[in-house]
Amino acid sequence: MFVCTSCGLVHEPDEHGFVPFSPLTAAATTDLAVSGDIHYLAVWRLSVNVSSTCWDRIRKIAAPAEPVLYVPAFTLARAVVQQLGVGLTEAQPVLQLTQGLDPSILQRPMLVNAAGTRGQSPDFGPEFGVLSPILVGRKDAHVLAHFVYMAVESHEAHELHSVDYELETTGEELIFLPAVWDPRYIHDSNWRLLLREFDGLVA
C-alpha cells in the first residue's frame, strides 16, 4: 500500500487500480518520558469472532468493549509480527484515535537518516522515517490473524496440536501507532509502544 503525504490517504491496489481510504492515528498515552524519534507503525486492528476458551481471557481484558486482534502491517519478520501482535492483542489498549494522519506527522522529514542500513538493525534502527511502510494488506492480515491467535493460545495451551478453535474476521481498521525504536526492548522486537498499557514493561 502507498501513503500519500499530501492528502494523508492510504492507497490500496486492486485489479482496477488504487482504492484510497483514510487510516486512523493513535495518540501517545504513555505516562513515561519519551526519548528518541517518534515513529508511527502501521497495524491492522481486526474485529473477530472466536470460539475458544482462550479468547474468554482476552474478552475479560477488553470488557466492556469487544475484543480485537492486532496484526502488525509494517513488517513481515515473524518475530515482530508475533511479539507485537500478541502484545497488543493481550493488552487490548484503549486508543485515542483520530481520523486520518495528523498534519504534524506529514510535515516531518520522511527520508531515512541512516543510509545504507538494511532491515531493523540494533545499531541504526528501522529502515524508514516517521511513517512505517505498509507491507501487509487487509487480505493478508486476515490470514496472519490465525498466526497471531495461535501465538496467543500458546501462552495457555500445553499442546497446540490439540487446539480446537474457529476464527472469523468481520472487519478491519488500519491504525498508525506511536512508538520509539530502542534495541533494549528486546521482548517487543526493539519497539517501545507509546501507550500507557505498555508502561509497565519499561523503566
Using DSSP's 3-state secondary structure scheme, residue 190 falls into coil
pLDDT number for residue 119:
45
pLDDT number for residue 43:
97
pLDDT number for residue 140:
94
Determine the Cα–Cα distance for residues 89 and 71; give it in Å rounded to an integer: 9
pTM attached to this predicted model: 0.86
- What is the residue range of 93's domain? 2-201
Determine the Cα–Cα distance for residues 141 and 70; give it in Å rounded to an integer: 9
Which residues of the chain fall below pLDDT 50? 111-122
Determine the Cα–Cα distance for residues 120 and 127; give it in Å rounded to an integer: 6
CB burial string 21-60: b at 16+ within 10 A, e below: eebbbbeebbeeeeeeeebbbbbbbbebebebebbeebee
What's the DSSP call for residue 74?
S
pLDDT number for residue 185:
75
Burial class (CB in 10 A: 0-12, 13-18, 19+), 135: middle
Looking at the structure of the chain, the number of domains it has is 1
Burial class (CB in 10 A: 0-12, 13-18, 19+), 164: exposed
pLDDT number for residue 13:
83
Backbone angles phi, psi at 31, to 5 degrees: -100, 0
For residues 154 and 160, the answer to whether their CB atoms sit within 8 Å is: yes
CA 26 to chain CA centroid, Å, is 11
